[in-house]
Amino acid sequence: MDEKEIQSMLYLLDDTDDRIVEEIEAQLMQLGSAVIPILEKAWPTESNPKRLERILHLIKEINARVLCEELQKWKDSEERDLLDGVLIIDKLHNPLSDKQLIENRLDKIKLDAWLELKYDLTSFEKIKILNYIMFDVHKFKGETENYHHSKNSFISQVLETKTGNPVSLAVIYAIVAQRLNIPVYGVNLPQHFVLGYVKDLDWPPLSRFNDPSDSAELEGSEVLFYINPFNSGLIFSKDNIIQFLKQLKIEIKDGYFTICSNLDILKRILRNLINSYGKEKNEQKLAVVHEMMEILRDE
């Protein structure tokens, strides 16, 4: 179907026969993301309020369907790469999210840290360097004034503003660390997301900046110590977590002390967005996030 045919279909979106409108919308939905540029080209010049409303609705619905399809493919993939997953969620905030720009910003943090790393450093010394680069050089910090805002969950926004919530800051920290062969992974602590340094997996730093990082299935691995990126990379112990859980009167479970999967991290991000969009009364995006959550929940 060419652009002229699609434009002719758009002209009929204000038809008084609902069956015709439904059929046109169904055909356009089947075209998927390929029709989005034509719809985006049409709506700024559309003078008919009814057609304009339906064009904008179609754009939102098609984008939502594409996001859900991408998330399903990510879930079905063997790798379940963390960055690829958060980039899918990022498109909720910016459908034209620039992956290369995000990669460049992550690489800049990685390069700055790589230049400081040496082979004879202890695990604590490596984290001290990474903390310095993240929080002193690049000035990342936790968002405390508008903690629940949805923008704090999107990696492109957090890399730009240097402020985020515990999960988004932890994601950036973990991606950079893993690309430097520093074994840092997410820990799904109740009411606060932190990171864990995996015991007995103390790889040497990369010999060259573009060396491939090691990877392994590490879910459930024992953690040497914990890191809180929301609090400038504060290092703490298992005993501190126990005390934290007791203060909140939360039952202590083994899973709170071991690293979690990338799928669990994406679920945590989506739960935060459900809370954020609920507070912001953004019903359209809230519905999409619920759909995405169902995809990941159906494990």
Of all helices (H) and strands (E), which one includes residue 223?
A: strand 223-228
Q: How far apart are CA 84 and CA 88, in angstroms?
A: 7
Could you tell me which residue, 60 or 194, shows the higher pLDDT? 194
**Span 110-132, average pLDDT:** 95
Lowest-confidence segment of 27-31, 72-76, 147-151, 247-251 by average pLDDT = 27-31
pLDDT at site 116: 95
Q: What is the mean pLDDT of the chain?
A: 91
pLDDT in tens, 164-173: 999 999 999 9
pLDDT at site 160: 96
Could you tell me which residue, 36 or 229, shows the higher pLDDT? 229
Examine the pLDDT at 228 and tell me if it is beyond 80: yes
Q: How far apart are CA 67 and CA 266, in angstroms?
A: 14
DSSP 46: -
β-pair type (184-187, 141-142): unpaired
- Spans of all domains in the chain: 3-76, 82-297
Examine the pLDDT at 202 and tell me if it is beyond 80: no
